[in-house]
Amino acid sequence: MTVHQISVFIENKSGTLIRILDLFKSSGIQLIASTISDTVDYGIYRIICSEPMRAIEVLKNAGISAEVSEVFAITLDNYPGRAADALRLISNDGICISYLYSFMLSGKGILIFRTDRPEATVKVIEANHMESLSDDSLLSLV
């Protein structure tokens, strides 16, 4: 199972994030998690939100370059070392993580990530009975 993530291609310029967040605000879309890094090459702002399919429409209608894609979202019990254990299972299989970010929701740790081999990743998740979220199950935690 996967969740939908919005990726926005943004300029490295003051005010560009506000423009996107204001669009979410006026459309009543709630931000659940988001991440951006300071790479100079491409500004990619990744967002997990309520109603991702509507969010992408809102952005595109405003003429903003954005894409929706599927990423893994797994929940972890809240104790030290849990993330290390989970990721070890994935990396033991030789799978590479393209990017990852994490946050806490209702007392649970949530890891959002993409890998270079999605099918193999699904198998690892299933074989190890990890709790993988969908858009709806993620939203129910908010």
Partner 1 sequence: MYLHPQYELLSRSELEYLQQERLQATLKQCMNSSFYRERFRKCGLSVSDIKTPEDITKLPFTTKQDLRDNYPFGLSCVPLDKVVRLHSSSGTTGTPTVILHTARDLEEWAKAVARCLYMVGLRSGDIFQNSSGYGMFTGGLGFQYGAEHLGMLTVPAAAGNTRRQIKFITDFGTTALHAIPSYAGRLYEVMVEMGLDPRRDTSLRTLIIGAEPHSEEQRRRIESMLGVKAYNSFGMSEMCGPGVAFECTEQNGLHIWEDYYIVEILNPETLEPVAEGEVGELVLTTINREAMPLLRYRTRDLTRFLPGECPCGRKHRRLDRMKGRSDDMMILKGVNIFPVQIETVLMQFEELGNDYLITLTNEQANDLMTVEVELKEFTDNYPKLQSLTREITSRLKDEILITPQVRLVPKGTLPQSEGKAVRVKDLRKTLI
Residues that bind partner 1 in the complex, under the rule CB under 8 A: 5, 7, 9-11, 13, 41-42, 44, 46, 63-67, 69, 98-99
The answer to whether 49 touches 86, Cβ cutoff 8 Å, is no
> At closest approach, how far in Å is the CB of 46 from partner 1?
7
Tokens of 115: 């890998």
Nearer to partner 1, 17 or 89 (CB): 17
First to last CA, the chain: 18
> At closest approach, how far in Å is the CB of 9 from partner 1?
4
Nearer to partner 1, 61 or 134 (CB): 61
> At closest approach, how far in Å is the CB of 65 from partner 1?
4
Nearer to partner 1, 69 or 128 (CB): 69
